[in-house]
Amino acid sequence: MAPGRENSVAPSPNVDATDPATLLEDLGGAERIHGAVLFDGRRALVAVRGDERFAAAAASLLEVADSARGEPISHAHVATDTGEVFAVRGSELALVVSAPRFQLASLMLLDMRALVRQLEGTTPPRADLLSEKEPVVSGGAR
């Protein structure tokens, strides 16, 4: 596994890949995620990781971001001097994550999109995507 990928969304083999709360717990370690909220298409709460008060703020963020464009956003990233918030919307679910400063935005959004797609059933679990069908050879021909 590449450095910094230890906290990717790939669930452990014993994790129920259909349980949103469990997958939110697998999204990242405490050093990477302060909180996470998963909503359905009507912004009804599906799962929360961390402080449940974050859910109201996360719903407001989605509402404000959507109204700024006049249509639902696909993703958003807000950074302040004290932390960052990321939002990703799939076809049926929306995920909002609060994190400490200096997260690699592209990696966080990638992991969040993968989790949303997995929960929506539109992609296999990340563990399946990352499994090797044949040996990987680096630095030369096979």
**pLDDT tens for residues 10-57?**
333 333 445 677 767 767 665 678 889 999 988 888 888 888 888 999
Higher pLDDT, 112 or 26: 112
Residues 6-13, mean pLDDT to the nearest whole number = 37
Amino acid at 10: A
To the nearest 10°, the Cα dihedral for 7, 11, 13, 17?
180
Name the region of 48 (left: φ>0; alpha: ψ -120 to 50; beta: rest). beta
The set of residues, in sequence order, having a beta carbon less than 8 Å from that of 99 and lying 6+ positions away, is 28, 32, 33, 34, 83, 84, 85, 86, 108
Amino acid at 58: A
In CATH, what class is 20-126?
A: alpha beta
Amino acid at 134: E
Instruction: Report the predicted TM-score, pTM, of the whole model to 2 decimal places.
Output: 0.72
Q: Which pLDDT belongs to residue 11?
A: 36
Single out the residue of 111, 103, 63, 67 nearest to residue 85, CA to CA. 103
